[in-house]
Chains A and B, each alone.
Chain A
């Protein structure tokens, strides 16, 4: 009983008192419950793909949002892993459980290769160089159509499972684990790993980070490898879900897609890209259901993106959390927006103007 009380107290303190975590919990429970509510193949398909793309977008955020190594060609990792997994599956009949990790490992090695320019370039220069990598690879793929299938890609790849629900839960478990790892890896307040704060330091000022004795090369490569690994996992899952590894996985616009989702959701927060994907991707797919939506979906998408960025240039999650959470000015504990005093130290959360203060005390 006492353990139950302790546990309940912990839940109350650490989750129910913080609005952001309540939202995350509700979101997670909804994800688990989705196949119990509807088994409609369309909905399962949309949300399975959303889970996969969320891993992809979050991996971009690790590299570009946290470490500041602007990567405009993130589809490289996704596409390389997709083609590796697809070709292994087609030619050697390996099961998805082997091909997806293989694809991810290849993506890591490609990530380390793509990290070489980052040693000498930075900012938009690095972005423009990384942007070209998937396009270079795309040209090579088109030049050897016998092996890679050219424009059509590699098709006929086996699925993880024949059941849509099992596929969904596989994607969900992988998504949860990946996002947890990426979150811990990049969390600047983590007591477990130092990487989070080091990556932030590299983004903010690389020279100072170096002067403080941080081997920035090592950590930059680590970010490239980790980001490549998770983008590779997403690519492998995608290919075994869609059963086709096509050139669209290396497309210029697919690289931008990850950036669009992340910036819309909130850059340099792992939950931002997840929220971005889960808002934008299903929305576009549902628009596809109606005749006018199919015609106008990209226009609606673009207008929505422009409007959202005009009013929330830091991303929708940052904007919402800013509205519903208040950080105590004294002890830095997060509070719900409607509280007047901090739940931990009773300090007043909102500054009172001098005139109001005097008025309250009855001096005026």
Chain B
């Protein structure tokens, strides 16, 4: 039971963390609340399914094609939709909802409403203390860990990461320092969608793939991002892990827990925000405080 909770919590928490980091990144840098974020995650899962099960491609090729295609689509969306009307923030949000809806309906049209499964990357399981851990779960945990560390190195240790953080802090000053702000926006959108794609690729063999699979993670990702503090990458990783574990614990311990998993994690988020409105690690600027 305990091992189950830990492994499942790490899997779902890790997936949420990768999604939440991408979501938080594009919000922190470009102030875009991208509701289509988990729709890109769904798209990658579907592309992996299409390439492996229907196209008969080998797994690495399928993963590569799926993630690259999703990233390019995300960047095109940014370039031709979000960037054009970036001054109307609510309109950008609505357009992202429309994009998510569009992706959902197109996938529904092509693949139908059935729930699909993708064969796991590695079959078999590992026995630890008499509990079976599927290799796929371990791969998922390792992959999310690698992705998050890689992202941290990118943001903290490279020149590009420096300029991304500079733009997030102050767009105008960054522009004056010679950083090409609109190019940074485009790159960040690419990174953000690529993260969603990676999460989708990891998730595809674990969960069922269906055209409405973007709704449930979206709310949890929003909650995780707010819990950790919008714009704080470390905070939203922690928020996502907390919510992932809460969900898993509720499912494993409380009867009818599957219905209440969302309620509990969202309730925790609301409680935290009542005490700390800026989230766990959020930064509050003096003029924004009431």
Q: Do A and B come from one complex?
A: yes
* Stretch in B3-11, B68-76, B269-277 touching the partner: B269-277
**Given A299-B106, A309-B85, A140-B270 contact (CB < 8 Å):** no
Q: Point out the residues of chain B lying under 8 angstroms from A128, CB to CB.
A: 222-223, 225-226
Contact: A305 with B95, CB < 8 Å? yes
- C-alpha gap A295/B110 in the complex (Å): 11
Chain B residues with Cβ under 8 A from A133's Cβ?
270
B94 contacts A by Cβ under 8 Å = yes
Q: A70 and B84 in contact (CB under 8 A), knowing A121-B273, A125-B277, A135-B262?
A: no
**A313-B91 in contact given A125-B230, A298-B101 (Cβ < 8 Å):** yes
Shortest beta-carbon distance from B159 to chain A in Å: 29
Is B202 part of the binding interface, using a Cβ–Cβ cutoff of 8 Å?
Answer: no
Q: How far is the CA of A17 from the CA of B90 in the complex (A)?
A: 33
Question: For B226, what are the chain A residues with a Cβ–Cβ distance below 8 Å?
Answer: 125, 128-129
Q: Is the CB of B95 within 8 A of A136?
A: no
Given A301-B101, A313-B91: A143 and B260 within 8 A (CB)?
yes
Contacts of B146 in A (CB 8 A): none
Contact indicator per residue, chain A 119-152, by CB within 8 Å of chain B (1) or not (0): 1111011011101110110111011000000000
Which of A127, A135, A142, A301 has the most chain B CB atoms closer than 10 A to its own CB? A135
Decide if A260 is an interface residue (CB 8 Å cutoff).
yes
Minimum CB–CB distance for A151 against chain B, Å? 10
Q: A139-B260, A139-B262 are contacts. A121–B269 as well, Cβ < 8 Å? A: no
In the complex, A128→B222 CA distance in Å? Answer: 7
Asked whether any CB of chain A lies closer than 8 Å to the CB of B267, the reply is yes
* Count of residues in A whose CB is under 8 Å from the partner chain: 45
Are the CB atoms of B225 and A299 closer together than 8 Å?
Answer: no
Confirm or deny: A302 has a beta carbon within 8 angstroms of a beta carbon on chain B: yes
Q: List chain B residues, Cβ under 8 A from A296.
A: 105, 109
| Number of cross-chain contacts by CB at 8 Å | 133
Contacts of B85 in A (CB 8 A): 309-310, 313
Task: Find the B residue at minimum CB distance from A140.
Answer: B263
Cβ of A156: which chain B residues have Cβ within 8 Å of it? none
Are A139's CB and B259's CB within 8 A?
Answer: yes
**Residue numbers in B under 8 Å from A303 (CB-CB):** 98, 102
A117 located at the interface, meaning its Cβ lies under 8 Å from any Cβ of chain B in the complex: yes
Question: Chain A's nearest CB lies how many Å from the CB of B243?
Answer: 11
In the complex, A139→B267 CA distance in Å?
Answer: 11
Known pairs A121-B273, A302-B105; list 17 more (Cβ under 8 Å): A120-B290, A125-B279, A128-B223, A132-B219, A132-B266, A132-B270, A133-B270, A139-B262, A139-B263, A143-B263, A252-B215, A259-B97, A295-B109, A303-B98, A303-B102, A306-B102, A310-B81
21 interchain pairs, CB-CB under 8 A: A120-B274, A124-B27, A125-B226, A125-B273, A131-B219, A135-B262, A136-B263, A136-B266, A252-B218, A252-B219, A256-B35, A259-B90, A260-B98, A295-B109, A299-B102, A303-B98, A305-B94, A305-B95, A306-B98, A306-B99, A310-B81
Interface residues, chain A, with chain B CB atoms under 8 Å away: 70, 116-117, 119-122, 124-125, 127-129, 131-133, 135-136, 138-140, 142-143, 206-207, 252-253, 256, 259-260, 263-264, 267, 295-296, 298-299, 301-303, 305-306, 309-310, 313-314
